[in-house]
Amino acid sequence: MPEQTPAEYIKRHIRTVPDWPASGIQFRDITPLLSSPRVFRVLIDQFVHRYFDLRPSAIAGLDARGFIIGSVLAYELNVGFVPIRKKGKLPFATVEETYELEYGSATVEMHTDAVAPGDRVLLIDDLIATGGTMMAGMRLLERLGATVIEGAAIVDLPELHGSDKLRAAGLAVYTLVSFEGH
C-alpha cells in the first residue's frame, strides 16, 4: 500500500453518519480523530506546522469542537486561547454577532477583553459548511480590533460554499480535508 499523506490519514479517521441530524445529511464526525492518540497528534501537528512561523497572538475557537482543536493548538504555539461561545454562556461583558442558519438564526459571543486592537488571531473550528459561524467569529474579532490571519478547520464541505463566502469576505481559509456531498 502506498504511503498516505497526513491529510489522507486524517480523512480516513473521520466517521460519516448518514441522515444525522436530519434526513439527507451526511454528518462528518471528528470524534474518532480525538479518541486515537496517534491520529489526534497527526491532526494537531498539521496545524502546528502551518502556524508555527506565522505566530498568531491568540487562537480563537468556535463553540464547541473548535475549543478542542484550538486550545491544544494554542498550548502548542504558546499563545492564549479565546472561546467564542453560543449566546448566554460567558459570565463577563460580551460582544455578540447573530448569523443566519438554514432555518432561523444563531448568536455567538465573546468577552469584550478577549483580544486587543492589533492582535493577530487564528480562528478555528472543526468544519466549514455554510461559513456562517466562522463569519460571525471573524466579525466579532474584527469589531474588537483584531486581525484574523486565517480561518482554519479540519473539514471543508465545498458544495455548501462556506469557504467561498469566507474568502469573498476577505478571510484566508485553510482546511485539511474536504468531503463532496453534505
Residues marked as catalytic = 65, 102
The four Cα atoms 42, 63, 79, 14 give a dihedral, to 10 degrees, of 0
How far apart CA 106 and CA 137 sit, in angstroms, is: 12
Find where cell 502546528 sits: 48
The total number of residues shown for the chain amounts to 182
Spatial contact of 152 and 129, defined as CB atoms under 8 Å apart: no
